[in-house]
Amino acid sequence: MKIKEVTKKDGSIIYRANIYLGVDQVTGKKVKTNVTGRTQKEVRQKAKQAEYNFKQSGSTRFCAQTDIKTVQELSESWLANYQHTVKPQTLRNTKSYLKNHILPRLGDMRLEKLSPPVAQAFINDLAKRTNQFDKARSVLSRMFRYAIVLQLVQYNPVRDTLVPRKKQPAKKKVKYIQSDHLKKFLDHIDKLAQKDFTRYGYMVAFRLLLATGMRIGELSALEWPDINLEGHSIRINKTYLQEIKQVGETKTKAGERVVSIDKATVLMLKQYQNRQRVVFLEVGGAPTRVFETPTRLYLTRNNFQRVLDRHCEKLEIPRVTLHAFRHTHASLLLNAGISYKELQHRLGHSNITLTLDTYSHLSKDKEKEAVSYYEKALASL
């Protein structure tokens, strides 16, 4: 550090130095400043203090947003920027964690009052009420990392909090449709399909779920260009998010896939497409989405489930969810001999562990065949 002697207009002497503070963590630029003192010793002291203050402020000269005082105000500012970086379904979940867990308890708290002990108590209490506490903790921590960048706080009070052990929920056995119930159901919807286009469309939707194992959102977002009727395949690359009424990306990257379909399903789709076109010609226009009608763009999960519930009640078979068609599809394929790796791709799972954990117990018929395989192997010795 070079200290210069400066003579003022009144003849008095002062000392000045230009010092380097470091690299600004926000802008990435080198930061320098001037310090002035009546003596060289005072200049050296002020230089050390300036370096210390720069480090304490997060090594940045970025101006703080002084209008943000509370956790509620911080969440609004952070969310306005965060929403441009994630998928719609991720944003929806984040807003849910804020609305249901973070803001009711911490919303009115001033930022400087949220200390590590307060944050730890909040997380411990949340862990007693929900297994989603770790996700809420992550959101709160990201908010305070953002607050540091804005120079609103000096440190992240959530960063070093201990994460409570998660309660392991009882593993739910997936529900699929029993063979006798499935046959009864399919016969029933086939008969109803002859009455009008609405029932016909529902029949096609149910059978397509069963034939492909698609998720409901994927089925709703399906468009005719996604279906290759000549190549006997369907490209799945999007999903309809009913809660926010938007079409977004598939649940995971692995969810983008092409699945093959059987000849009967191809024929069914060709006949349905022709009938759908006729219906639209009567009112003017042409359909883009597979399950679009003149009065509805998308097949919504709630209405679709109510239709299924009415059928189950009328047939006096156990109630099942729409997702049961996906499980039933997996069960049928496993018992027909498909490998788990092939099933993983068909269902759009990101890893085979999920497929094994979810569906390994459904291949019970194949498990029974293991005895006959063993007997044949033993006989050949």
pLDDT tens readout for residues 203-234 = 999 999 999 999 999 999 999 999 999 999 99
- Token code pair at residue 269: 């789709």
- Token code pair at residue 204: 């096609």
Residue 32 included in any domain = yes
- Token code pair at residue 375: 């007997």
Residue 191 included in any domain = yes
Question: How does residue 54 score in pLDDT terms, banded at 50, 70 and 90?
Answer: confident
Residue 25 included in any domain = yes
Residues 143 and 240 in one domain: no
Q: What is the DSSP letter of 35?
A: E
pLDDT at 226: 96
Residues 219 and 342 in one domain: yes
Given 149, 171, 190, the domain boundary residue is: 149
pLDDT at 142: 94
CA distances from 368 to 83, 115, 174 (A): 51, 59, 20
Residues 259 and 320 in one domain: yes
Mean pLDDT of the chain: 87
Residues 200 and 307 in one domain: yes
Residues 211 and 315 in one domain: yes
Residues 302 and 334 in one domain: yes
Q: What is the DSSP letter of 102?
A: I
Residue 84 included in any domain = yes
C-alpha span between 254 and 192 (Å, rounded): 36
Q: What CATH number has the domain bearing residue 295?
A: 1.10.443.10
The phi, psi pair for 57, rounded to 5°, reads: -90, 15
More confident call, 373 vs 243: 243
What is the C-alpha end-to-end distance of the chain, expressed in Å?
Answer: 89
Q: Which residues form the domain of 113?
A: 71-149
Residues 128 and 272 in one domain: no
pLDDT in tens, 122-151: 999 999 998 889 999 999 999 999 998 888
Residues 46 and 79 in one domain: no
SS3 per-residue string spanning 272-338:
HHHHHHHHHHHHCCCCCECCCECCECCCCHHHHHHHHHHHHHHHCCCCCCCHHHHHHHHHHHHHHCC
Number of separate domains in the chain: 3
pLDDT in tens, 30-45: 888 888 888 988 889 8
Beta strands 239-241; 233-236: pairing state: unpaired
Residues 48 and 85 in one domain: no
